[in-house]
Amino acid sequence: RAVLAHYEGASTSTQRSKRLRNEAPNDIAARGATPLRAIARDLERNHDIFRGALRVLVNSTIGPNGIGVEPQPRRRDGTIHTEYAALLSDAWRHHCKRPEVTRRYSDSLMQRLLAYTWFRDGEVFAQQLYGEVPYLRHGSPVPYSLELFEPDFVPMDYNDPGRNITQGIQTNAWGQPVAFHL
């Protein structure tokens, strides 16, 4: 009790005013996310230190070559199926040359772009496209691509409580995202 009595995190002082509002996190985000995103983007454009900090975060998280994948499929007896692993590695190598729909970025550059956007804006979105998709040619023989979206495409002001839509994201009864309204 003596230790808890000295905890000052929740007490008010001349440096820390009393917070009277106890708002839900979604309400706070709705009010502040768009201006904060604009401030972060302005800092990125106009301040080398901010840009350098983002670059350090990306380099520390993703690395220069991206996050690698090494397939290790196992047989029923638990040993690694080396022939199948070699086929998967070959398919993965081809896929990583152009994994996204615009075919502009390699896998490592795409990962770095996603991380950079996530650190700067607080979120990033991608849609997975499998198999035959009208008007899309996948960038490799692997019929799988990602479509990247800036967070601006998800509207912060689109709310429909009757359909469980908050800030453009529709959730099920458990709060799991089931749809993104772009």
pLDDT digits (tens, 9 = 90+) for 104-147: 999 999 999 999 999 999 889 999 999 999 999 999 999 999 99
pLDDT band at 156; cut points 50, 70, 90: confident
Of 37, 44, 43, the residue nearest 167 (C-alpha):
37
pLDDT at residue 42 in the model: 94
Asked if 179 and 160 touch (Cβ cutoff 8 Å), the reply is no
Amino acid at 34: T
Alpha helices in 6-61 (DSSP H): 25-46, 48-61
Across 138-160, average pLDDT: 91
pTM value > 0.85: no
Return the structure tokens found at 122: 């607080």
Asked if 72 and 66 touch (Cβ cutoff 8 Å), the reply is no
Return the structure tokens found at 178: 């089931």
Q: How far apart are CA 37 and CA 151, in angstroms?
A: 9
pLDDT at residue 37 in the model: 87
Amino acid at 115: A
Place of tokens 């502009």: 104
Across 75-88, average pLDDT: 95
Of 168, 151, 152, the residue nearest 160 (C-alpha):
168
Return the structure tokens found at 145: 């691509």
Q: How far apart are CA 170 and CA 164, in angstroms?
A: 5
Place of tokens 């198999």: 131
SS3 181: coil
Q: Inter-axis angle of helices 107-121 and 48-61, to 10 degrees?
A: 130
